[in-house]
């Protein structure tokens, strides 16, 4: 599948025609990341928009003593870091490749000019940001309101398939508990 087809699969660009996609690709570049490579660091200048084409990327904030707080895990095909790009701010978190990954970086200045000429795409940005805000609200609510056991039970009920496709460490990270705590809860739930 070529890059034009892949961008058309991105909700942000799904309503564009091939000519518009090719215009965007004319001021874009493909970035290959190996597992563990950093796409961007918290605090760096946001100079473009990223589209994950292959692999997985994790967005996290670093806390005290280097502890990571998972913000979101992206799978293909996803847009990454729309808000800092759109608001012309620094990245609020760090992005790291969890697998070998391919990302399209759409250069900022040219893309902003393109957006001004195509305001319908701005609506797509708003929709994408709204969905991400809902995800973050749900994560905050889950972390603050629900106990660790209740978070595990909710994940099993709503997304049980994650236990088949994700590592326990990744699930624990998503639930903001240690892998050992997750194992104890799962053992307790099986009893």
Looking only at the bridges linking them, the beta strands covering 101-107 and 48-54 are antiparallel
- Among the residues of 27-177, which ranges form H helices? 82-87, 108-117, 119-145, 148-159, 162-165, 168-175
Instruction: Say which residue the tokens 């215009």 belong to.
Output: 23
Q: What is the CA radius of gyration of the chain?
A: 18
Quote the pLDDT of residue 27.
Answer: 94
Model confidence pLDDT, tens digit, residues 163-191: 888 888 888 888 888 889 999 999 888 87
Alpha carbon distances (Å) from 8 to 12, 31, 76: 8, 18, 12
Residues of the chain predicted below pLDDT 70: none
Domain locations in the chain? 3-136, 146-191
Mean pLDDT of the chain: 88
Phi-psi region at 185: left, alpha or beta (left = phi > 0; alpha = psi -120 to 50): alpha
Quote the pLDDT of residue 132.
Answer: 73
pTM for the whole thing?
A: 0.73
Beta bridge partners of 30: 104
| Four-point Cα dihedral 142, 146, 150, 155, nearest 10 | 0
Beta bridge partners of 90: 45
Quote the pLDDT of residue 49.
Answer: 92
Q: Which two tokens stand for residue 158?
A: 């709503």
Quote the pLDDT of residue 83.
Answer: 84
Share of the chain above pLDDT 90, in %: 37
- CATH code of domain 3-136: 2.60.120.10
């Amino acid at each position: 599948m070529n890059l034009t087809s892949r961008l058309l699969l991105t909700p942000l660009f799904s309503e564009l025609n091939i000519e518009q996609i090719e215009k965007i690709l004319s001021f874009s570049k493909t970035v290959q990341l190996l597992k563990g490579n950093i796409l961007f660091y918290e605090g760096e200048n946001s100079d473009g928009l990223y589209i994950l084409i292959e692999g997985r990327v994790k967005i996290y904030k670093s806390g005290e003593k280097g502890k990571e707080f998972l913000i979101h895990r992206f799978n293909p095909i996803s847009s990454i870091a729309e808000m800092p790009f759109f608001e012309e701010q620094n990245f609020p978190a760090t992005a790291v490749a969890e697998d070998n990954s391919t990302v399209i970086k759409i250069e900022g200045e040219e893309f902003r000019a393109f957006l001004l000429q195509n305001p319908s795409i701005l609506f797509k940005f708003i929709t994408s940001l709204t969905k991400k805000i809902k995800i973050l609200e749900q994560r905050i609510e889950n972390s603050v309101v629900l106990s660790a056991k209740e978070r595990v039970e909710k994940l099993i009920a709503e997304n049980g398939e994650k236990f088949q496709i994700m590592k326990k460490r990744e699930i624990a990270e998503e639930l903001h508990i240690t892998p050992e705590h997750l194992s104890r809860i799962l053992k307790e739930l099986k009893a």
